[in-house]
Amino acid sequence: MFSRATENSQEGAGAAGSVLLPVVCSLTPGLHQFKFFVDGEWRHDERQPFLTGNYGIVNTIYLPPESALLSPRTPNSRVGMDLDNEPSPPMAAEPDGSMQDTALRISEADIKLSRSRISIFLSSHTAYDLFPDSGKVIALDINLPVKQAFHVLYDEGISVAPLWDCARGQFVGVLSALDFILILQELGNRGSNLTEEELETHTISAWKDGKHQMFGQLDEHGRPLQGNIIHAGPYDCLKDVALKILQNKVSTVPIMHSSSQDGSFPQLLHLASLSGILRCICRHFRHTTSSLPILLQPICKIPLGTWVPRSEDQSGRPLVMLRRNESLSLALSLLVQAKVSSIPILDENNSLVDTYSRSDITALAKDRVYAQIHLDEMSIHQALQLGQDAHSTYGGFNGQRCQMCLRSDPLLKVMERLATPGVRRVIIVEAGSKRVEGIISLSDVFRFLLG
């Protein structure tokens, strides 16, 4: 029973007590929910990821589609399935009319020229140029209980903080929103309501150790604690910093400086992100757009981003979206399993109303909501309301939270939007109906610009 409400049971008969009952089913890529029917009873496997859905507790499995490269354009690593109730096969994600009509594509020469100019610019500026004149960085001691760390992130309005280990005199990692999502999921999975004592005494370092054992593959910042934190120096060129961020699939890289040879007594200077680097690029090139010809091209012609397909191709990667009355636990599962950083949220007419991002998890710290609710009892809509009350600077729909643009907007406009602090993705919508057509993130833009 995969994603359909049919009674098509595919379990093979096997002796009780045997551990493995392999069943081979061919599934379309995407997120599927399933359950086992064992000896007349519906069961789920507690060792695999599960959540409470419309059919009770179900296991979930996520299948990334095979990367069928049809063109030299860089594919996006974002995958997922449209989770409306009507079953729809996953469809391709290519900009409209790109394969057939090459006359509409912008010239390779333009792309090459723009890329080389950007490369020169990034190589001749250093991370020091990203620093504000007077900046502030928040750091957390690694022996801080996770619960207090959660509240600190919320109070300070940040979603990532470097971790300081006193005993070693070093920064050893970062704590990010993804950590909290995993913690909440793990605590929720134990069945009962979140116990505050567990969050009270569980330190960040204990969590990181456990996480490394549990999620060996999860490499956000999942390197062993004994390893080195991903960081950069203030004199590293911007190109290296951007590549480091892209290759390690992180959102920020701490910039640190140590005047001694062995790296002791590091000075934490800044948290570099692609957004800051893009701001530098925009600031430099926005008044000289002739030197970067692709800047004025409409984004529908530029091969970047993830798009909702208009045709029925089977290749490419679909876009993850959810309705706002879906449960929060489903959103969090998707964020983790699909490895996306945000999900567009639609209303009943499939119009865009908001986005739910990983960093929104910190809003649950308000009034300790996380301890009072079950994740699957709260809808995404309610979770977003929490966030809006909290940070009034980010106005709900029309403010900085949900940046939208049209497919005909030039690349420069999209880049300017992405360069705004706090914005990591721009959603392309259809004018008027606000239906989602695609999504462009910071890493999409940089992968395209850096070639």
Contact residues: another protein, CB under 8 A: 128, 131-141, 143-145, 148-149, 152, 156, 164, 166-167, 169, 203, 234, 257, 259-260, 265-270, 283-288, 290-291, 416, 421
Planar angle of CA 118, 124, 129, nearest 5 degrees:
100
Nearest-approach distance from CB 224 to another protein, in angstroms: 23
Q: Determine phi and psi for 148, rounding to 5 degrees.
A: -65, -35
Strand locations in 35-120 (E): 36-38, 41-43, 50-53, 56-63
| 80 Rama class: left (phi>0) / alpha (psi -120 to 50) / beta | left
Task: For another protein, give the closer residue by CB, 165 or 313.
Answer: 165
Residue 202 identity: H
Task: For another protein, give the closer residue by CB, 156 or 209.
Answer: 156
Q: Which two tokens stand for residue 333?
A: 């599962």
Task: For another protein, give the closer residue by CB, 137 or 243.
Answer: 137
Nearest-approach distance from CB 338 to another protein, in angstroms: 32
Task: For another protein, give the closer residue by CB, 131 or 394.
Answer: 131
Task: For another protein, give the closer residue by CB, 296 or 431.
Answer: 296
Residues 6+ apart with CB under 8 A from 47: none
Which helix or strand (DSSP H or E) is residue 426 part of?
A: strand 425-429
Task: For another protein, give the closer residue by CB, 266 or 387.
Answer: 266
The 3-state DSSP class for residue 264 equals: coil
Name residue, tokens 């911007």: 238
Nearest to 232 by CA among 128, 160, 132: 128
Which residues lie across from 271 on neighbouring strands? 254
Q: Which two tokens stand for residue 208?
A: 């990181």
Task: For another protein, give the closer residue by CB, 229 or 380.
Answer: 229
CA end-to-end distance (rounded Å), the chain = 42
Residue 247 identity: Q
CB atoms within 10 A of CB 216: 10
CA distance 397 to 195: 34
Nearest-approach distance from CB 197 to another protein, in angstroms: 14
Task: For another protein, give the closer residue by CB, 178 or 204.
Answer: 204
Residues 6+ apart with CB under 8 A from 26: none
Nearest-approach distance from CB 362 to another protein, in angstroms: 15
Nearest-approach distance from CB 94 to another protein, in angstroms: 30
Task: For another protein, give the closer residue by CB, 49 or 233.
Answer: 233
Nearest-approach distance from CB 311 to another protein, in angstroms: 34
CA distance 176 to 251: 9
Half-sphere exposure of 286 (CA within 13 A, CB side): 13
CB atoms within 10 A of CB 169: 11
Rounded (10°) angle between helices 328-337 and 380-390:
90
Nearest-approach distance from CB 397 to another protein, in angstroms: 17
CA distance 179 to 183: 6
Task: For another protein, give the closer residue by CB, 9 or 116.
Answer: 116
Task: For another protein, give the closer residue by CB, 346 or 411.
Answer: 411
